[in-house]
Homo-oligomer: A and B are copies of this chain.
Amino acid sequence: VAILDAAAELLRRGNPASVSVDTIAAAAGVGKQTIYRWWPSRGAVLLDAMVRGAQRQPPVADTGTLIDDLEAFLSATFRAASSATTNSLLRGAMAEGLRDRHGAEVLQRFTAARRDVLREILERGQMRGDVPPAVDFDLVIDQVYGLLWYRILIGHTPVTPRDARPLARALVVQLRQSVTSTKQFTQPSIVAQRARGRST
């Protein structure tokens, strides 16, 4: 079975998206039926292969600070995502996930695992006190992965590790303020007032 995936991956790297089931079977030296014995559909096979390809978990380092943990994590993640092959892998994964019920499940499991990694980092920061307690991380996590996927899928801007630092900073700021009351925002902000004052 691993041979099959290996073959599937090899094959997939070769060309853009013309990976038919027959192609995979031929490349793996395997009958088509054997593929369908273990996967419910084409999408499932491809997603399994792709997910396996994108699954090189960057080891989550504990640097002692939330900001540094985040930056390290984002940097590693973005670096991986910036490679052309990973990029097209993820695009292919999403394409399959959108077309295939089974593929969607695999994709959902995969992304859930990734979100958990980030959530762990944030929770560690919370325990450390870098983040106020009782903050819901879902928004932040989806902001991060959303940014990543969005740029990869749309392709309007490349994903680069250089975005890791500013993004990490922004997120930390955001998290620290998450429980603050709404009031200050409805009024022109103090910073803005100062800025105006300064600009005068």
The reply to whether A65 and B130 form a contact with Cβ atoms under 8 Å apart is no
How many copies the complex holds: the figure is 4
Give the secondary structure class of A's interface. helix
Stretch in A5-13, A28-36, A152-160 touching the partner? A152-160
Report the interface size for chain A: residues with CB under 8 A from the other chain.
Answer: 68
Given contacts A65-B188, A191-B130, A195-B130, contact A149 B153 (CB under 8 A): yes
For A176, what are the chain B residues with a Cβ–Cβ distance below 8 Å? 189, 191-192
With both chains docked as a complex, state the minimum distance between the C-beta of A5 and any C-beta of chain B, in angstroms.
22
Cβ contacts under 8 Å, A155 to chain B: 104, 108
A180-200: CB near B (< 8 Å → 1, else 0) gives: 001001101101101110110
Give the chain B neighbours of A157 by CB distance below 8 A: 138, 142
Closest to A172 in B: B185
| Residues of A near any B CB (own CB < 8 A) | 17, 64-68, 91-92, 94-95, 97-99, 104, 107-108, 111-112, 115, 128-132, 138-140, 142-151, 153-157, 163, 165-174, 176-178, 182, 185-186, 188-189, 191-192, 194-196, 198-199
